[in-house]
Amino acid sequence: MRFLVLCLLLIPLSAPAEDRPEDTVVRNPIEFVRKKLLDVRVGPGYDAYENIRAHGQDVTGSHSGAVPLYDARVGPVNFSNIFDQANFTKGNGPRVGLLFTYTGDAYKASGLSNRDKTLFGGGFLGFHYLTLFGYSDLLGKKAGVIYVAHYAPLLFRLGKASNFYFVAEGEYMNRLYVDYYFGIRAWEATPTLTAYDGRATLNVSATLLYVWKMARLLEFTIWAGEKNYGVGVTDSPTVALKHAYNMGAGLLFRIF
């Protein structure tokens, strides 16, 4: 992963696929910076999801709440927590760069050490509807690595402002990731939560995504999907479900 990051730093940034040939001419310096170097979108969201955990503060069942949404690009570097709607997963041409996100299958339960979200970093490579990316723990928590194959074709458009997408993902969690977020240490084990070291697994998901560009700097988005977890996750004594739904809505304001 560190070798991948170093390689990506040496690769020049490709122009965003949404740019037309005439956009490459520097007519407006501010617009040039926005299109080529900087693009920041943030906003409020509301997320409803099904928890797969059998024990802990948020046990199996439906949960919901407000969430911040962000997607920012600074040159070849991307910061995002909305991969389905991110700049780095959209476009028709080749895309390559670095990716950072604050994420993780956080978990808190009595008698177990907290498994917190952490900062992950890595890189991506994309073309047309397909994007391949991976990221690893950057803060030394031994939270492992995730690799993702992300396929997001445009289903159809309504007018010029409304787009419908189908998003399919294959997500590989390595053993360290599964062990950190779903494992049970020997000293934490109880008669109902037996020790579990975790092992690498493959998860798959499918999502329908709607994006409405309400104004030049404002987007409204809705998503709904389901994720199926591999045996490396579902074999954990902390897990009760093999699949879970997720749906939500949000507003994204482009601030630059």
Encode pLDDT of 202-231 as tens digits. Answer: 999 999 999 999 998 999 999 999 999 999
Q: Taking residues 163-178, what's their average pLDDT?
A: 97
* pLDDT value of position 143: 93
Instruction: From 113, 105, 83, 109, select the one nearest 234 (Cα to Cα).
Output: 105
Where residue 56 falls (left for φ over 0; alpha for ψ -120 to 50; beta otherwise) is left
Q: Taking residues 65-84, what's their average pLDDT?
A: 93
Mean of all residue pLDDT scores within the chain: 86
Query: Which of the pair, 57 or 131, is modelled with greater confidence?
Result: 131
Most confident of 8-12, 16-20, 89-93: 89-93
- Band of the pLDDT at 87, cuts 50, 70, 90? confident
- The radius of gyration computed from the CA coordinates of the chain, to the nearest angstrom, equals 19
Residue 188, SS3 per DSSP: helix
Instruction: From 148, 174, 170, 164, select the one nearest 222 (Cα to Cα).
Output: 164
* pLDDT value of position 137: 95
Cα(212)–Cα(162) distance, rounded to whole angstroms?
Answer: 4
Is residue 88 over pLDDT 70?
Answer: yes
Lowest-confidence region among 41-50, 106-115, 180-189, 245-254: 106-115
Number of domains the chain contains: 1
Structural domain of 8: 2-254
Give pLDDT tens digits for 57-68. Answer: 666 678 889 999
